[in-house]
Amino acid sequence: MSRNPQEWDDRYAAAAAECGGTVWTPGPNRALAAAVEQELADVVPGTCVDVAAGEGRHAVWLAARGWRVQAVDYSRVGLDRAREAAAGAGVDVQTVCADVTEWDPAEPVDLVVCAFLHLPSVTTRPLLHRLGTWVAPSGWLVLLGHDAANLLHGTGGPQDADVLWDTDLLREAAAGAGLEVLRADQVRREVTNAERAAIDVLLVARRN
Ligand SMILES: C[S@@+](CC[C@H](N)C(=O)[O-])C[C@H]1O[C@@H](n2cnc3c(N)ncnc32)[C@H](O)[C@@H]1O
């Protein structure tokens, strides 16, 4: 199921109104954070775009590590939360309210991050390729999403094969944009009160 901006706005607003909380667990996804800390350990932080940034958990974490982050999302309420989170963390995150299927950064970017953006495959394939083309020379692409294996073996995420990702999809997008793929693997994520772990897919690629 794909949502529209109003539905995302309502979802973020409801989480804030009901419990003063966020839809997504605060703090970065562990696998994404570990990948950035390991693979990019020697990289001097530069410009970064967090694509479909939502409430900004990755944008804020990256900004705290010195990246100059643009957080792009079409949910104004999500971006309000992202700015609050950035202010709370004492970091700067520039927010851009835009449909990422139509938006492009002004210049090539040192790090492009996109986590859990699940759109119909007809949109996803060209979009992921475009994200790869944004990467500057010596820059990086980090993608994280729900793997299609979730439907049979995992927990949570959209229950629609057409919007789910897998390693082949991510590899093709990155390689098609001229990037070297350093890793593209399934990652297990433990989920509270669920018998099975969630199965995510993570890609790290760079432009040589
Ligand atoms: C599952 S949330 C993930 C948020 C964030 N990346 C994270 O991991 O916490 C998906 C986000 O994608 C945004 N989104 C979906 N389609 C979009 C589009 N076409 N353009 C911009 N944002 C979009 C939604 O507003 C939502 O904030």
CB count in 10 Å sphere of residue 140: 24
How far does residue 21's CA lie from ligand 1's centre (Å)?
17
Q: Mean pLDDT of successive 10-residue segments in the chain (208 residues)?
A: 84 84 89 98 98 98 98 97 97 98 98 98 98 98 98 95 98 98 97 95 98
Look at the chain and report how many structural domains it folds into: 1
Q: Is there an atom of ligand 1 within 6 Å of 74 CB?
A: yes
Question: Exposed/middle/buried for 205, CB within 10 Å: 0-12, 13-18, 19+?
Answer: buried
Domain harbouring 101, CATH code: 3.40.50.150
Site to substitute for ligand 1 among 60, 74, 96, 143, most atoms within 8 A of C-beta: 74
Residue where the block lists tokens 């479909």:
52
Q: Which two tokens stand for residue 70?
A: 């643009």
Q: What range defines the domain where residue 120 resides? A: 5-206
- Mean residue pLDDT across the chain: 96
What residue's CA is closest to ligand 1, atom 19? 99
Condensed to tens digits (0 to 9), the pLDDT of residues 105-156 reads 999 999 999 999 999 999 999 999 999 999 999 999 999 999 999 999 999 8
pLDDT of residue 24: 85
Q: pTM, whole model, 2 decimals?
A: 0.97
Of residues 204, 178, 180, the one with CA closest to residue 38: 204
pLDDT of residue 2: 59
pLDDT of residue 18: 79
Q: Is there an atom of ligand 1 within 6 Å of 25 CB?
A: no
